[in-house]
Structure 1
Amino acid sequence: MKKIIIASCISLLMFSCGTSKKTVTKRNKRVVVVKSSEKEPEQENVTTPEIAPNTPEVYANSTEEYVAIYSDIAQDEMRKYGIPASITLAQGILESASGKGRLSVEANNHFGIKCHDWTGAKIYHDDDASQECFRKYNNSKYSFRDHSLFLTGRSRYSKLFDFEKDDYESWAKGLRAAGYATDRKYPVKLISLIERYQLHRFDAEVLGKQADNNDKHTVAKGDTMYSVSKKYKITVKELQELNGLEDTSLFVGQVLFVKPMPKDY
């Protein structure tokens, strides 16, 4: 009887051990499953697209870039002081070499205004005489404001303000007559710049008028550079220069400036 009881106990004990072993095995399997998940990030091959930097504006030349940068300031000055934006821009282009001249680069002086009774910062530069004194500004916008104050604050320029605000030709000639510049071709140069770069459109915007489109041509089907040049009595080369074009390719809908520059520019 004792032998039967002992055999039963041994069998029960072995059964218990087998059950425990199976449980451990199951737990080991669960551990293996957890570990396998650690490999998932390695399997993700996500590529982040590169964000292209802002593409800078491309201009045909430095004068077009100058107009793009300072046209808003010139229009603001026109609203406040009544000086045509076209005149202000043309003078700035001419006096500062489209913003590339020494006075504009080192002194933010876009109009070649000399010191006179100026008490601010100064710069010395060869002009009519050696090492003349010119005004120096912290920012270009102050140069535009000083230009407006210069014209409105001196009696010799008072007659300019009798002209219509969009009569840029009279303003250009009036500046020369009032002694702003000694160059006899100064008016012609201003007018040429205004017409070549369509600066009068900024006057029209301020005055709420539509700019004259007689000096523009919209390319239609069948147009060529040669046919357009013949229509407006301008050479192909001049047409290319007016529009900053390097070749004779055209596309339908393209707008071309077609008014030729004065011959004595």
Structure 2
Amino acid sequence: MVTKKRRTRKRKTSSKFSIQAFFVKNGQLRRRNTVLFVIGVVLLCAVALRWQNNHQPIANNSTNAQTVLYEQRSTWLNSLVPYAQQLQRQYGVLASISLAQAALESNWNGSQLSQQYHNFYGIKASPGQKSVVLPTKEFIKGTWVTINAPFKVYDNTQGSMLDHALLLVRGTGENHQRYNQVLKAPDYITAANALYQAGYATDPGYAQKLIKIIEMYHLNRFDR
């Protein structure tokens, strides 16, 4: 008699990953796998947090720095407002123009001329006046050149602001009416353009720079 061999079927093992099987076996918690999983989650969170710290704060720090700079400049401008308004009442020079020119000409009180010699407007000295010779840039024949020029020295900020107002009122030795259009200007835009046209500065973008400062810091609200 020929005996038939019994075929034994092999059970197919499931290839699908089971989350429950990963953590539980035979009703018991698989501690090793659980610990590894927790460590993996913690590491993943740490990597995500580090990435966030390395990327997002760049924009935030830049924004914060700009905010701080804006507030510092506003505080400095506000310290000049009372006297600028007094000069406007006395001589008709718009306070916004006085403030914007002080900011632009002194590089926001960062120049050597303003910090050491209280000259906030780049006013040149006449023969016999107290002065200091410093390098300055002039736009001559379409090109920026550096020259040495004598600048007036003042004892304080108010002395510089007053002299600026008197310059606009009295003009220069060769033309006493030189800045009349600045004084007659009904608004800061007209006054800024009149300053450039009268030759206060050689920079072709001078008027627009003044206007930008006035509008950015809302200086025209101080005009009366």
Give 1:176's aligned residue. 196
Uncovered stretches (5+) of structure 2, i.e. residues with no partner: 1-67, 139-145, 172-176
TM-superposed CA distance for 1:68, in Å, is: 1.8
1:162 aligns with 2:202: no
TM-superposed CA distance for 1:149, in Å, is: 0.7
Give 1:68's aligned residue. 78
| Percent of aligned positions that are identical | 36
Deviation by residue 1:30-77 (Cα, 9 ceiling, x = unmatched): xxxxxxxxxxxxxxxxxxxxxxxxxxxx87444212212111111111
- Match for residue 123 of structure 1 among 128, 132, 139: 132
Aligned pairs for 1:1-265 within 5 A: 60-117=70-127, 119-127=128-136, 128=138, 129-154=146-171, 155-164=177-186, 167-203=187-223, 207=224
Asked if 2 retains the 8 angstrom alpha-carbon contact of 1:115 and 1:134, the reply is yes
Flag the structure with more relative contact order, 1 or 2, with Cα contacts below 8 A and sequence separation at least 6.
2
Equivalent residue of 1:100, what SS?
A: coil
- Change beyond 3 A, Cα 1:134–1:200: same
Amino acid at match of 1:105: Q
| TM-score, normalization by structure 1 | 0.52
Deviation by residue 1:3-30 (Cα, 9 ceiling, x = unmatched): xxxxxxxxxxxxxxxxxxxxxxxxxxxx
Higher-Rg member (1/2): 1
Asked if 1 retains the 8 angstrom alpha-carbon contact of 2:168 and 2:183, the reply is no
TM-superposed CA distance for 1:158, in Å, is: 1.3
Amino acid at match of 1:121: K
Asked if 2 retains the 8 angstrom alpha-carbon contact of 1:157 and 1:175, the reply is yes
TM-superposed CA distance for 1:159, in Å, is: 2.1
Give 2:47's aligned residue. none
Equivalent residue of 1:123, what SS?
A: strand
Equivalent residue of 2:179, what SS?
A: helix
Deviation by residue 1:170-209 (Cα, 9 ceiling, x = unmatched): 0000000111111111111111100000000100xxx3xx
Paired residue total? 144
Asked if 1 retains the 8 angstrom alpha-carbon contact of 2:181 and 2:191, the reply is no
Give 1:9's aligned residue. none
TM-superposed CA distance for 1:121, in Å, is: 1.9
Give 1:222's aligned residue. none
- Change beyond 3 A, Cα 1:85–1:132: same
The structure with the largest strand share of the pair is: 2
